[in-house]
Amino acid sequence: MRFMVIVKATPESEKEGALPDPQLLIEMGKYNEELVKAGVLLALDGLHPSSKGARVKFSGESRTVVDGPFTEAKELIAGFSILQVKSLEEAIEWVKRGPNCSPGGDYEVEIRQIFEMEDFAPILSEEEIQHKVKRRAELPNQTASK
């Protein structure tokens, strides 16, 4: 299963033209490398401050564009990554190992599961699974035939 790891913004990440601290970049690089080596990191991107973005508000048929910046840093997103792991708990474990991107302040990282095909597929009952296991076991040379 896949999770989107959403790193919330901080006042620093929202600053115009602000680049992260070099030491922090090294730590983040090391952490991301660990994720790659473990085979769990699928994608990763950082976002410019909201001053370079816009919002499109939907109301019935009307669309209103609001240019950034936006207030309420903690409601904003500063970056995201996509992890492929076995459980929410595993995603949590990986996220907890990351460096603090805002050593002085507080911020949050939100973990959300991505919809996959299995979420829409019918799931077999335990009985049906056991039936399949039994039938499969009767076949000669299951995996060796490949």
Partner 1 sequence: MSAADPHHATHHALHRTIEAVWRIESARVIAGLTRLTRDVGLAEDLAQEALVAALEQWPQSGVPDNPAAWLTATAKRRAIDLFRRNAVAKRKHEELAHELEAFEQTSPDLDTALDNTIGDDLLRLVFIASHPMLPTESRAALTLRLLGGLTTDEIARAFLTPEPTIAQRIVRAKRTLADKHIPFEVPRGPELAERLSSVLEVIYLIFNEGYSATAGDDLMRPTLCEDALRLGRILAELTPTEPEVHGLIALMEIQASRTRARVNSTGEPVLLFDQDRTQWDQLLIHRGLTAIERALRINSSRGPYLLQAEIAACHARARTPSETDWPRIVILYTELAQLTPSPVIELNRAVAVSMAHGPQAGLTLVDALASEPSLARYHLLPSVRADLLYKLGRHAEARTEFERAAALTRNTRERDLLLTRAASCETDPTDP
Binding mask 16-55 for partner 1 (x = CB under 8 A): --------------------xxxxx-xx------------
Q: Do the strands 41-46 and 2-8 form a parallel or antiparallel pair, or are they unpaired?
A: unpaired
Query: Which of 51, 46, 41 has the alpha carbon at shortest distance from 3?
Result: 41
Residue 101, SS3 per DSSP = coil
Whether the Cβ atoms of residue 142 and residue 38 lie closer than 8 Å to each other: no
Indicate which single residue of 45, 61, 72, 89 sits in contact with partner 1 (rule: CB under 8 A).
89
Whether the Cβ atoms of residue 99 and residue 26 lie closer than 8 Å to each other: no
Of 57 and 135, nearer to partner 1 (C-beta) is 135
Binding-site size for partner 1 (CB under 8 A) equals 35
**Which region among 18-26, 50-58, 62-70, 134-142 touches partner 1 (by CB under 8 A)?**
134-142
Give the separation between CA 18 and CA 11, rounded to whole angstroms: 10
Query: Which of 67, 63, 32, 65 has the alpha carbon at shortest distance from 51?
Result: 67
Residue 83, SS3 per DSSP = strand
Smallest gap from Cβ 62 to partner 1, in A, equals 28
Indicate which single residue of 73, 94, 101, 102 sits in contact with partner 1 (rule: CB under 8 A).
94
**Which region among 4-12, 48-56, 63-71, 125-133 touches partner 1 (by CB under 8 A)?**
125-133
Task: Report the interface residues with partner 1, using CB under 8 A.
Answer: 1, 36-40, 42-43, 82, 84-87, 89-90, 92-94, 117-118, 121-124, 129, 132-137, 142-144, 146
